[in-house]
Amino acid sequence: MSELAAERRDCRLYLISPLDVGGTFPDRLARSLDAAPVAAFQYRVKGLDQHEAARLAEPLQRICAERAVAFIVNDSIALAKRLGADGVHLGQDDGTVADVRQQLGRGAQIGVTCHASRHLAMEAGEAGADYIAFGAFFPTTTKQVKHRAEPELLTWWQTLMELPCVAIGGITPENCGSLVTAGADFLAVCGAVWNGDEAAAVRAFEQAIASAG
């Protein structure tokens, strides 16, 4: 799982799970990952105890492993450690990069949400994060948006840093072109994939990214 820390390449998809990952969701995940190349899958669930979160994660983690897709846990260092996940994505209040390194080891892939802040991004990079995430770039119903970012932020980051950057927030196949052109290494998407035909959506993103590149 070196995709997120690897040398820069063409923009790639980074899927974020819906909050409901039960029922037929494992089948949906497999369909999405088989539709077109995906770099990573972030497991994001809320309001579950760790035992239930781990139970639901197991088939999803296996599906990702079979396809060499990075399995990243949102927020919880403890859950990531329990699952032996490829990494963890930290919000600003979820712990530090040093905490993750101590608990998960040097091989863990660590992402940090930096909203629209150049200062937070620089701090995360200096702390040893493997990638940083900027957003939200567009309106989204997936989570409450307190910060709005502009594509120019991605370009600024690319001119200064080699660390990969992820764009997040309301991204669709129709509006992602400006982010690809601006320099996003990864597009983090949720509703645009899971609110409809996931395989068709992933293919649409692949085409949009190729057209923008």
Q: What is the CATH number of the domain that holds 76?
A: 3.20.20.70
The reply to whether the predicted model has a pTM over 0.85 is: yes
Please report whether residue 2 resides in a domain. no
Number of domains in the chain: 1
Please report whether residue 3 resides in a domain. no
Please report whether residue 21 resides in a domain. yes
Q: Write the CB contacts of 135 (distance below 8 Å, at least 6 apart in sequence).
A: 115, 116, 147, 149, 167, 168, 169, 188
- Residue 95's domain comprises 9-212
Please report whether residue 4 resides in a domain. no
68: left (phi over 0), alpha (psi -120 to 50) or beta: left
Among candidate residues 42, 36, 47, 67, the one with its CA nearest the CA of residue 57:
42
List pLDDT tens digits, range 138-175.
Answer: 987 766 667 789 999 999 999 999 999 999 999 999 99
Residue 140 confidence (pLDDT): 79
Please report whether residue 86 resides in a domain. yes
Residue 1 confidence (pLDDT): 37
Please report whether residue 110 resides in a domain. yes
Please report whether residue 77 resides in a domain. yes
Q: What is the mean pLDDT of each run of 10 residues along the chain (213 residues)?
A: 54 97 98 98 96 98 98 96 97 90 95 97 96 94 76 96 96 98 97 98 97 87
Please report whether residue 70 resides in a domain. yes
